[in-house]
Amino acid sequence: MFISLALALVAAPSPQRHDPTEVLAPNVPQTVEQQELSARRGAANAACHRRYMGQDYWPQPAIWKVADADTAVYLFGTVHSLPFDFDWLTPQLEHIISDAGLLLTEGYRSSATPNHPPGRLPPVSDRLRGDARALWRGMLAIMPEEHGAAFDALPTWAVARRIDAEARRRRNPPPGPGADAQLISAFEKAGKPVEEIESAAAVTAMVMAASEAAQRRVLTAQLHDIARPRSVVERMKLFHRWARGEPLSDQGPRRHAKSGELARLLLDKRNAAWADELAERMSKPGTLLVAVGAGHFEGEQSLLKLLSERGLEASRVSSTQPPRSRTAWIPMPATWDSCSDYYMGLKPIPPGNE
């Protein structure tokens, strides 16, 4: 998981209409008419949120178990940000949460993003080429001047992460806490310990070790992603696939790392360290729940495969609920705006999508 960054942009409400070129726009005072329109749009967005959240299936996200005579380790692949009210908790997970004496997660305690030494890197605009530079300058044009200077003081990977986080915050449906964050809250409320399998600072150091060329490839790809965002239907399909326990290899961290070098650092190297850590923990009696990103359980260097190489075979925990077909959420408008306009009475949804 990429770590949270210390740099904060000016607080700004999520725009009712998403324009990828305005992800960093500052607050603009609204007239009374604009406020009324925003209220109507907010109600319409709430209706679209309920519509896209429709889950006519029992969730059954993937869970694996490694066990010996006195130790049980449950492995749960999470999504780090989910739409609010998205249903994913299963009877199996509730039982595991009740039995587990410890939750082990990726580093979640914030770690400050170090600025690079003065003069070490040029301004962000000079780190980019071609249309990526043009996209960045377009963002700078709507950004307070001091924010552009703050970005220039950041490592390149941190710039990519910051603009990605801001773009995600402004999307519809709005992002909420991920499964791992909700599990942390549940364990803490129950008075059970939560430990990090690694520190956020360690992840920061790992990313900082990536070459500048790899970091710039990530930033370039991130700018293009923001300029051409996926539709709400495409994004919701990812959440539904995860909730049904389906593979995410074409959508997971390797796709988003945009660099083989960063994928090796953020996935392969960490998976190997985690496998060693879990092998050691098998000598300690008890029940442990491990909640890390779902992408760590897929690929040639997956956590499951590396555990197997250490003599620890993980078995998939079967669902106690019968699968149900999903249909209600698929025939939806392709964009959030068309759904929102429908509920505001501005335009109809094409036949077959009612």
Average model confidence (pLDDT) across the chain:
77
The domains of the chain, with CATH numbers, are 72-112+176-211+232-249+261-318 (3.40.1010), 324-354 (no CATH)
C-alpha distances in angstroms, 34 versus 21, 37, 42, 72, 188? 21, 5, 12, 56, 42
**pLDDT at 52 (0 to 100):** 66
**pLDDT at 288 (0 to 100):** 96
**pLDDT at 22 (0 to 100):** 34
Residue 19: CB atoms within 10 A of its CB come to: 10
Distance separating alpha carbons of residues 4 and 109, to the nearest angstrom: 8
Helix (H, G, I), strand (E, B) or coil at 303: helix
**pLDDT at 12 (0 to 100):** 27
* Listed range (65-79, 80-94, 101-115, 227-241) with the worst mean pLDDT: 101-115
* Listed range (65-69, 265-269, 302-306) with the worst mean pLDDT: 265-269
Judged against a pLDDT cut of 90, whether residue 86 lies above it is answered with no
- Which position has the higher pLDDT, 318 or 60? 60
**pLDDT at 326 (0 to 100):** 42
**pLDDT at 327 (0 to 100):** 41
Cis amide linkage into residue 173, ω under 30° from 0: yes
For the stretch 226-274, pLDDT in tens is: 888 777 777 788 888 999 899 876 554 445 445 578 888 888 999 999 9
